[in-house]
Amino acid sequence: MDLEGLQALQEIDIQRDRAIRELQTIVEQISDPPFLAQLDAEVEAQADEVRRAELSAREAHAHVQTAERRIEAADARLYSGTITDHRTLEELQRDLYSQRQQLSPTKDAETRASQAAEAARDASSWLMTLRTNVVDAWNARQAQLRSEQASAQEQVDEHARQIAEVRGQIADEELAVYDQYRRRRPRVVATVTGGVCDECRLMVPTVAVTRARRGNRVVDCPSCGCILRVI
């Protein structure tokens, strides 16, 4: 049996297995950003919040304008000279006073609503910046992964090419034995050095070493089951 050839084949097979695992690890990481739906929902919810806050601010502003117009009208009436009745004048003055008293909290409410709208807009723009940044970072990482995937695929292809070449130099019946062994273990052939199997690092019985050295039939390591190659 061409144990040397089979050993060369298994080394490339092992390298190819490793390259395939690396490729799979990379492929598993390639995906659309999983957090995007949640982030978009947050961005949308914040946009709703901005619309609500801006509506409140417009309403608060309108309240102030209405109150100011009322005061102006009452003021004009009071000093128009058309009202001469003492009681009516007094009532009008009381009413104007009360309206002026109420104007201040209305203006405060307007300020608060306007500040709330501003804060909502800030939060919204912060969220959108965050979205842009995380998506950019995700895309950059994905581009890097795709480039890694391309080189990992090249490695796998190169190993496949080498395997075909090496297999072409080995007899079919030997390849059949090799393939049967390799379905059970990554390493098929183990070298015996100084009576020790280099796969399981255990002593091989002398009788097995002697039989393996003769090389006219396949001798397995009693410990790990590899085909023993004595050199």
Binding stretches for Zn ion (CB under 5 A): 197, 199-200, 221, 223-224
- The residue among 50 and 212 lying less far from Zn ion, judged by its C-beta, is 212
3-state secondary structure 61-130: HHHHHHHHHHHHHHHHHHCCCCCCCHHHHHHHHHHHHHHHHHHHHHHHHHHHHHHHHHHHHHHHHHHHHH
190 by Cβ neighbours in 10 Å (0-12 / 13-18 / 19+) ranks as buried
- The residue among 197 and 230 lying less far from Zn ion, judged by its C-beta, is 197
- The residue among 146 and 201 lying less far from Zn ion, judged by its C-beta, is 201
Q: Provide the minimum distance between the beta carbon of 190 and Zn ion in the complex, in angstroms, as a whole number.
A: 5
Q: Provide the minimum distance between the beta carbon of 227 and Zn ion in the complex, in angstroms, as a whole number.
A: 10
Length of the chain: 231
3 state DSSP class of 195? coil
Q: Which amino acid is present at 31?
A: S
Q: Provide the minimum distance between the beta carbon of 200 and Zn ion in the complex, in angstroms, as a whole number.
A: 3
Q: Provide the minimum distance between the beta carbon of 214 and Zn ion in the complex, in angstroms, as a whole number.
A: 18
- The residue among 33 and 225 lying less far from Zn ion, judged by its C-beta, is 225
- The residue among 76 and 202 lying less far from Zn ion, judged by its C-beta, is 202
Q: Provide the minimum distance between the beta carbon of 198 and Zn ion in the complex, in angstroms, as a whole number.
A: 8
Nearest CA to 22 out of 145, 128, 132 is that of 145
CA distance 74 to 147: 76
